[in-house]
Structure 1
Amino acid sequence: MDNNATTQPRQEVIEALAEAEACCWANSASPHRLGQKAKSVLNRAKQSIAFHLGCRAGELVITSGATEANNLALAGVFEAEMFRRQPRRRILVSTIEHPSVLETAEVLRARGAVVDHLEVDSSGRLSLADFRSKLTQDTLLVSVMAANNEVGSLQPIAHVAEACHQVGAYCHTDATQWLGRMPVNLAEWGVDLLSASAHKLHGPKGVGLLFARAGISLSEQQHGGGHQGGKRSGTVNVPGAVAFARALQAAADQSDWDSVKALRERLFEGLSKSAGPIERISPEDDCLPNTLLLRFNGVDAEALMASAPSICCSPGSACSNATLLPSHVLIAMGLDRKAADECLRFSLSQANTTEEIDQAIKILAEACSYVRSMIQEAA
Structure 2
Amino acid sequence: MVCFNFNKMKTKKTLIGLGLGQIISLLSTFIAFTASEIARKGINAPTTQSFMGYLSLAIVYGGIMLYRRPAIKVKWYNYLLLAFVDVEANFLVVKAFQNTSMTSIMLLDCWAIPCVLILTRVFLKTKYRMMKISGVVICFLGVVMVVFSDVHSGDRAGNGVNRGSNPVKGDLLVLAGATLYAVCNVSEEFLVKNADMIELLAFLGIFGAIVGAVQISILERGVLKATHWPTEAILLYLGLAPALFLYYSLVAVLIQTNGATMFNLSLLTSDMWAVLIRIFAYHEKVDWLYYLAFATTAIGLIIYSTKEKDQEEQRDGEVASEQRKKVLDAEDGESLRDSLIGAPT
- Structure of higher RCO (CA pairs closer than 8 Å, 6+ residues apart): 2
Shared fold by TM > 0.5?
A: no
Question: Which band: TM-score by shorter chain?
Answer: under 0.3
Question: Which structure has greater strand proportion?
Answer: 1
Normalising by structure 1, we get a TM-score of 0.25
Normalising by structure 2, we get a TM-score of 0.27
